[in-house]
Amino acid sequence: MSILTKLLLSVRSFGASPPPPPYEDFTTYTEVDPNNRFTVEQYKITFAGLLRNDRSYVYKDKGVNFFDADFEIQLQTRATSWVLNSFCELIGISNVVTWKANDGTRCLNVSWGYGYESDLAISGMRIWIAEWHNGIDYYDYSIILSLNTTYYLTFKRTGAVLTCEIYSDVARTILVDTLTVNLHSVTQFRYIYGARSLGEATGTQAISGYTENLYVVSA
């Protein structure tokens, strides 16, 4: 038995933790951020004073039809400040590279939103999921969430159903809410966004916080 094998067996015998998942490396993503709202680190994107009308985004080309059927994506996020009508996309799945969270065709996303597109009057900061399909958004939103609290998300497409499970613990055992959208199409997608502004023509409402440990479990 080699020394390396003995060492590995020794580590296992003491119950060492398994290695972390292969998180997305945001330093390999493309950042377009003319107003310097994002700070991009290897596994974390911090957004500071991101405005509703900013044209900022961080994305990666995964290759044609990378998200071709069912998928699961995990991340954790925290908002540290917000105001009415502020917004930040946390995950976007699309076939278009653009600064606007609604890319005008078909896309899927998970976002922080204090009011959102068609429902600006809905009170309280929430996490939203949406399918944009032929210019119409089909969405669901969480219960009101708390500032300076970390939430752990599991975002899935299973068949023609889009879901986002929101947990309050890293082990994902304490469920806060589950969001569901019945999809109007099951589209193959190429690009993933790690953060993006809403990209409205007007609106200077700001949000700050971060997203980290984005893990594409399956695609």
219 residues of the chain, pLDDT tens digit each? 444 343 344 434 434 556 678 999 999 999 999 999 999 999 999 999 999 999 999 999 999 999 999 999 999 999 999 988 899 999 999 999 988 777 667 899 999 998 655 555 567 889 999 998 888 889 999 999 999 999 999 999 999 999 999 999 999 999 999 999 999 999 999 999 999 998 888 889 999 999 999 999 988
Residue 67 tokens read as 């998200």
Q: By the 8 A CB rule, do 192 and 65 touch?
A: no
How many other C-beta atoms lie within 10 A of the C-beta of residue 196? 30
Question: Distance between CA atoms of 97 and 58, rounded to whole angstroms?
Answer: 10
d(C-alpha 163, C-alpha 149), whole Å = 21
pTM of the model: 0.88
Beta strand 57-61 with 30-32 is: antiparallel
DSSP assigned state of 9: H
Distance of CA 185 to the CA centre of its chain: 20
Structural domains in the chain plus CATH codes = 19-218 (2.60.120.200)
